[in-house]
Structure 1
Amino acid sequence: MASCRDVELGFVEEREELLLKSSFFPSKVGGKPAWLSLKPIPSPEQLSCKLCGETTIFLIQTYTPRDYTFSAYHRTLFIFVCRNPACCRKNENKNLRVLRSQLPKNNDFYGTVSTVEDIVNYDPTADKYQPVCIVCGAWGTKRCAKCHRVSYCSKGHQVIDWKIQHKKACALQQVATGESAPVADHGVLFPEYELVTEAEEYEEINEEKSEEEKMKGLSAFLKSDEAKDIDDLPLSELEKIAISEHDKVFLKFKERVAHEPDQVMPQLLIHLNVDSLGDSIDWGTLCVFTCADSCDIGNNYHEEFVYKQDVSDSIQ
């Protein structure tokens, strides 16, 4: 047996919203981003789709600290995606934005609190440093012209909020009550989950499979793919039907993920409620390439490169 390289698997879990705030340094999927550096958070330009120009929506963030590097004691990677299906093009990553944020242990935002109660009471958030879009959590560079109380990252998100909530609330907001209206579900964000990672426990067996094992495996694959009368076919015929280079890779993929069928990589689109046979955003794998040395970027957000592998490419 030969051990595979170390691989971390991701799983989504329901979690109390409180524990997904910035001060808990979460890894999470969906909802609004839990910004690491709280000022300045990314500008609308940093988060705009490179194809349509609309604001991309928060997809996922992973807390990946480099405590052996002074400037990256805290470190988080953020991925954003445009929700316009037309911008999800084959072999293009222009509908995606990836940003790196990192901070030293002694920083401008987080103290040395040690208990959950301390963190809850301290609760640093980005909106204490600059206006934040009520719809998506990005930097709110625009405000409602009437009440001046609600901020938006773009005209598009202002229109959405006006139709769903703010048209009725605006007059009430003008009254100096000191209270804001509850935030409505604008139908823009993805469902929110905690992203839990675990080391993969998997060993690849290099021994040759027996003739009988090959027959069972090929038959099961073909039957799951489409209904065929194949029980009486010899192995040589099964291989001709099933084992193209395409299917060899796909069979290996199915075997590997079967050990942990709940891992996020194949099913994330389902959890996000965007897995559709019609027009929808889609990908096979998103691979983020970031600075190996975690070079110091201060309190800013630095754009990194993401490679999008499409589903059709990932099984060829």
Structure 2
Amino acid sequence: MDSDAKGDSMEELKGLRITPLDDDDDDGEEEELEDEVDEDDEEEEDEAVILGFLEKPENSWSLLRQQFPSKAGGIPAWLDPDNLPSKKSSRCDICGNPLQFVLQVYAPLVEKETTFHRTLFVFMCISMKCLSQDQHEQWKRHPEKQSRSVKVFRCQLPRANPFYSSEAPKGNATDKPLTPGAPLCAWCGTWKGNEFCTDCKIAQYCSSEHKAMHSSSGHKLECQQLSLSSNSSDPNACNSGIQQIRKRKVASRSLWPEFEMKNEHESEYDTDMSEDDRCTDNSLVPSNKIDYSMKSLEKYFEEDGEKNSNAVFQRQISKAPEQVLRYCRSANSKPLWPMSSGRPSKADIPRCNHCGSPLCFEFQILPQLLYFFGVKDDNESLDWATIAVYTCESSCEGVGYREEFAWVQLAPPTNFPSLPL
């Protein structure tokens, strides 16, 4: 694939913006073109897969919520900045700790005015023990209560909303949201800060655990300095200390590194590519390491007796080994399962717990993501074969965030090979 074609595709799919923020005239032209497509072509287009790739962001502002980004790691760019998931929703149901942000996918839908903006957020507990338990819990059927360590939230907004301009973002640092949003936890920067620091009364936290972590990591000293400033005769010193705390970046150093997600149609990789084309200048993983990793995966699954399922999986993934996400929301779309075992039946996928509609497959997360996050390859580290996300078929309406469903397929006990460093 030549660089010009790749650039055009990247621009078209930037942020998985399936519904671009275009003028009405442009929309009309697109509708006329769609009318000329025959039914067979429409069916093929519906089942087209979009691949997600990670890149280091060139500008920090490109991942802010007013840019409607698709991203992985760091902190979420909440779509609705006020009505965030809270209480038990934000915690692992197994160990009770606050969940960590994994990734978000900006995926608006054309068929409804209320889904003009639409983003899906994935969170998980960083404990492999909880993830292993999660795999057992997901087999429970209604009305049994499932305890999950992987959670998905959907948020959607109409074009006219109180948080963003109805005009398309300019794509630069001048774009601003209409509201500041709810205060977030000073430690994780992820969840709503409902609990204040008892000393400075400024820093806010999502949980007592994160409050204690921040205090032990140095915030206690900040509080003492702020207390000294407040007792001084110079009011500017106190104000300066308050502003310093409010502007401080997320304190936690255990968050996963932040990446911007770029996207391309899988069909772009259906033609044979040269070695130079496969590994572009902005590639994060050298091609020789990718090749080694794919061979390791093949040997791993051959030894495990999963040849048939993995043959299809390997054939597709090897076209673009750096992909971390596969997106395809259509009536006939299904996950690309790396193993025959651990797949859900139709009865295992619940209905929407808000409106009762069926859930449909929308995207899956591949284990390559762990390489980019720098997760170690050992027995206690996070590991999965794939995580498939199912969402409400009607994308039902509601204020704030609606929880969707994730199906976790874990690799067998032997470690799933990761891309070598």
**Backbone CA RMSD of aligned residues:** 3.0
Identify if the C-alpha distance between structure 1 residues 165 and 247 changes in structure 2 by more than 3 Å, giving closer, same or farther.
Answer: same
Question: Which amino acid in structure 1 is aligned with residue 380 of structure 2?
Answer: D
Q: Partner letter of residue 7 of structure 1?
A: V
Cα–Cα, structure 1 residues 142 and 244, in superposed 2: closer, same or farther, change >3 Å?
Answer: closer
Amino acid at match of 1:159: A
- Is 2:312 the counterpart of 1:252? yes
Q: Provide the identity percentage.
A: 30
The match for 2:51 is 9
Deviation, structure 1 residue 121: 5.1
Name structure 1 gaps, 5 residues minimum: 205-219, 227-241
Q: 1:123 to 1:173 in 2, by over 3 A?
A: farther
Q: Pick closer, same or farther for the CA change 1:124–1:221 going to 2, 3 Å.
A: same
Q: Is the CA contact (8 Å cut-off) linking 1:44 and 1:154 kept in structure 2?
A: no
Residue 243 of structure 1, CA deviation: 9.1
Render the CA deviation track for 1:23-49: whole Å, top value 9, x for unaligned.
Answer: 000010011110001111121321110
Using the TM superposition, name which of 185-194 and 301-310 deviates more. Answer: 185-194
Alignment equivalent of 1:168, drawn from 221, 241, 252: 221
Q: Quick check: 1:41–1:138 contact (8 Å CA) kept in 2? A: yes
CA distance in 1, matches of 2:383, 2:298: 23
Q: 1:173 to 1:31 in 2, by over 3 A?
A: farther
From 96, 102, 118, the equivalent of 1:75 is: 118
Aligned equivalent of 1:284, options 385, 391, 399: 385
Give 1:164-203 correspondences, 5 Å limit.
Answer: 164-174=217-227, 175-177=238-240, 178-181=242-245, 182-183=248-249, 185-201=251-267
Residue 102 of structure 1, aligned match among 129, 143, 156: 156
The structure with more helix, counted as a fraction of residues? 2
The equivalent position to 1:26 in structure 2, one of 69, 88, 92, is 69
**1:120 aligns to what?**
174
- Provide the rounded CA distance (Å) in 2 between the counterparts of 1:276 and 1:78: 25
Distance 1:71 1:95, change over 3 A: same
User: Greater relative contact order (Cα 8 A, min sep 6): structure 1 or 2?
Assistant: 1
Corresponding position of 2:208: 155
Q: Counterpart of 2:408 in structure 1: which amino acid?
A: K
Match of residue 129, structure 1, among 152, 177, 181: 181
Distance in 1 separating the partners of 2:114 and 2:297: 54
1:270 aligns with 2:344: no
Q: Which has the larger radius of gyration?
A: 1
Does structure 1 retain, via aligned residues, the 8 Å contact 2:214–2:251?
no
Q: CA deviation at 1:222?
A: 9.6
Distance change in 2, residues 1:68/1:14 (3 Å): same
How far apart are 1:278 and its partner, in Å? 2.7
CA deviation map 1:91-131 (0-9, x unaligned): 24511111110001100100134453786352456xx3322
Deviations 1:255-288 (A, max 9, x none): 2211111111241011112242130122111111
Distance in 2 (CA, whole Å) between partners of 1:222 and 1:61 is 29
- TM-superposed CA distance for 1:296, in Å, is 1.1
Return the letter of the residue paired with 1:43: S
Q: Is the 8 A contact 1:9 1:263 kept in 2?
A: yes
Cα distance, 1:251 vs structure 2: 3.4
Q: Which runs of 5+ in 2 are unaligned?
A: 1-43, 139-147, 228-237, 272-293, 325-365, 417-421
TM-score between both structures, scaled by the size of structure 1:
0.79
User: Residue 247 and residue 170 in structure 1: after superposition, are their counterparts in 2 closer, same or farther (change >3 A)?
Assistant: same
SS in 2 for 1:162: helix
Give the AA of the match of 1:269.
L
Distance 1:278 1:185, change over 3 A: farther
